[in-house]
Amino acid sequence: MNKLAIQGGDKTITLDQSEALEWPIIDDEVTEAVVSQLQSGEISFSDTIYKFEEEFAAYHGVKYALAHNNGTASIHGALFGIGVGPGDEVIAPAATFWGTYMPVLSCQAIPVFCDIDPFTGCADPVDIERRISPHTKAIIVVHLGGMPAEMDAIMEIAKRHNIFVVEDCSHAHGATYKGKKVGTIGDVGCFSMQGGKLLPSGEGGVMITDNLKYYERAICLGHYERIRDLPEEKYRKYAKTCFGYKYRIAPISAAIARVQLRHLDERNKCRDDNVMYLMDGIAECPGIYPVKPSENNFRGYYSRPYVRYVPEELGGLSKEKFIEALRAEGANVGSGAPGGSDHLSAVFQEQNHPAFSRPENNREVTYQEGDLPVSENPREDLFTIPVFSRPNKALLDQYIEAFRKVATRVAELV
């Protein structure tokens, strides 16, 4: 039998992986949409933005979609929309991108970090409840890497404590929780459309809600040009200045987003089919336990999925050695697990953002090592497998073969 590649044998994975891994997909349809937008001369204001919003709202079955120039802005709009302000606390995980929680400070309110589930990286409902205080106004839930968070438990807690839920769906366009699209379960849903996301528009963001007030308030924050058209007259006086932010999406980004939205479900399905086929194939190896979404959920794959590695079932071979051997076979596998210690970053240690000096926020808030034991200590027994964006069964079979080859010959590596 062929030797392991790490010991000088032939590689198992010989097929080119670059096309299967390509993301974002910029095809002729995208190019034509961009060129046509440019040729229209409408590169700042355009109906294309409204068309995208209508299509995005219809896709989610909600009343309102408000496009923004990035996902961070859409979260700022959502928080301002629900009325987050000085004196409020907003709970969010620290294992995320800062665009999730920094808008809390932009609203002059205080982020309170919560811990996560060690396998999914999503907020742990039990820990969320532990962090609730009389000042808590909202929870921002992140569907991390595309994995739907535990929305039933989170919504139940929010209802009991009378607090808002904002869903950060920046990694999870098209994902569903118990049949419901993420972003439609909480009070407001927000999505980044930055170039690497499942719905990539270059730069862009979008906020969705069924609540007119949240939508109108988000417009008042950063969309001055729309204020005069709002149904409720009481907002019109802000048309001159809005609240000082300019959050309009570029029409070229909206044009790209319209094309990408048309392909979202089919591309999500292709990624999911590939992941499931690979997971089922490698799960036959001893010591390899892919972390799947629960059966009622459909996850998006913005991030690579995790696999749990049990060395005791593989002759005691370390995870690192196993990964090294797989890489030598040509497999694109990585180390890593959900986690993050953003609460220890400079802004929170120094507390020098103006929000911390507001008299309404004048109470002791600390951000310390040890606050988030799970987030701060990612599991060491996980590793990642790739997500392929195009169908390629032959390549997936080579991956499964590589796993089998290494798993059956661990004795040679121990």
Ligand X SMILES: Cc1ncc(COP(=O)(O)O)c(C=O)c1O
Annotated active-site positions, please?
Answer: 97, 168, 171, 194, 197, 226, 238, 248
Residue closer to ligand X, measured from CB, 108 or 170: 170
> Which residue from 86, 91, 95 is spatially nearest to 345, judged by alpha carbons?
95
| Least Cβ distance, residue 96 to ligand X (angstroms) | 5
Is there a contact between 378 and 339 (Cβ–Cβ < 8 Å)? yes
Residues of span 269-328 touching ligand X by CB under 6 A:
none
What residues from 205 to 244 belong to the interface with ligand X (CB under 6 A)?
205
**Nearer Cβ to ligand X, position 171 or 258?**
171
CA distance 219 to 234: 13
DSSP 165: E
Residues facing residue 188 across a β-bridge: 166
Least distance from ligand X to the Cβ atom of residue 101, Å: 9
CB of 192 to ligand X, least distance (A): 3
CB-wise, 287 or 293, nearer to ligand X?
293
Amino acid at 189: G
199-214 in b/e burial notation, b at 16+ Cβ within 10 A? bbbbbbbbbbbeeeeb
In angstroms, what is the minimal distance from the CB of 51 to ligand X? 21
Q: What are 344's two structure tokens?
A: 């220890």
Per DSSP, 87 falls in state T
C-beta of residue 131 within 8 angstroms of C-beta of residue 140 = no
141 interacts with ligand X by CB under 6 A: no
- Applying CB under 6 A, among 20, 78, 132, 142 the residue interacting with ligand X is 142
Site size toward ligand X (CB under 6 A) is 14
Question: Is position 97 an interface residue for ligand X (rule: CB under 6 A)?
Answer: yes
Query: Measuring CA to CA, how many Å separate 393 from each of 78, 107, 245?
Result: 42, 48, 48
23 lines the binding site for ligand X (CB under 6 A): no
* Token couple for 147: 């994995």
CB atoms within 10 A of CB 270: 17
- Rounded CA gap, 125 and 116, in Å? 8
Burial of residue 180 (number of CB atoms within 10 Å: 0-12, 13-18, 19+): middle
Report d(CA 392, CA 322) in Å as an integer. Answer: 24
Q: Quote the CA–CA distance of 344 and 117 in Å, as a whole number.
A: 19
The nearer residue to ligand X, 103 or 330, going by C-beta atoms, is 103
Which of 241, 170, 214 has the alpha carbon at shortest distance from 79? Answer: 214
Q: CA-CA distances (angstroms) from residue 79 to 109, 181, 230, 273, 368?
A: 10, 20, 19, 36, 25
Taking residues 148 to 177 in sequence order and writing x for each that binds ligand X by CB under 6 A, - otherwise, the string is: --------------------x-xx------
Q: Using CB under 6 A, which of 12, 37, 48, 72 touches ligand X? A: 72
Q: For the CB of residue 147, give the shortest distance to ligand X in the complex, in Å.
A: 12
Cβ closer to ligand X: 251 or 300?
300
| Token pair 């849903």 in the structure block, residue | 189
Residue count (the chain): 414
Q: How far is the CB of 123 from ligand X (least distance, A)?
A: 12
Write out the binding residues for ligand X, residues 173-212 only, by CB under 6 A.
Answer: 192, 194, 205
CB under 6 A: which stretch of 11-19, 67-75, 177-185, 307-315 binds ligand X? Answer: 67-75
Stretch that binds ligand X, among 55-63, 65-73, 254-262, 394-402 (CB under 6 A): 65-73
Minimum gap (Å) between residue 279 Cβ and ligand X:
24
231 DSSP assignment: S
CB of 99 to ligand X, least distance (A): 3
User: Is position 96 an interface residue for ligand X (rule: CB under 6 A)?
Assistant: yes
> Does the footprint of ligand X cover residue 46 (CB under 6 A)?
no
Which residue from 48, 70, 108, 392 is in contact with ligand X, where contact means CB under 6 A?
70
| Phi, psi (rounded to 5 degrees) for 168 | -90, 105
Residue 100 interacting with ligand X (CB under 6 A): yes
Nearer to ligand X, 173 or 405 (CB): 173
Pairing of strands 188-192, 164-168: parallel
Residue 375 binds ligand X, judged by CB under 6 A: no
Q: Which is nearer to ligand X, 68 or 319 (CB)?
A: 68
Taking CB under 6 A as the criterion, the residue among 93, 99, 125, 200 binding ligand X is: 99
Concatenate the DSSP letters of all residues of 36-51 into one string: HHHHHT-SSS-HHHHH
Nearer to ligand X, 171 or 271 (CB): 171
Q: Which of 30, 37, 71, 109 binds ligand X (CB under 6 A)?
A: 71
What is the pairing mode between strands 89-93 and 110-114? parallel
Positions that interact with ligand X (CB under 6 A): 70-72, 96-97, 99-100, 142, 168, 170-171, 192, 194, 205
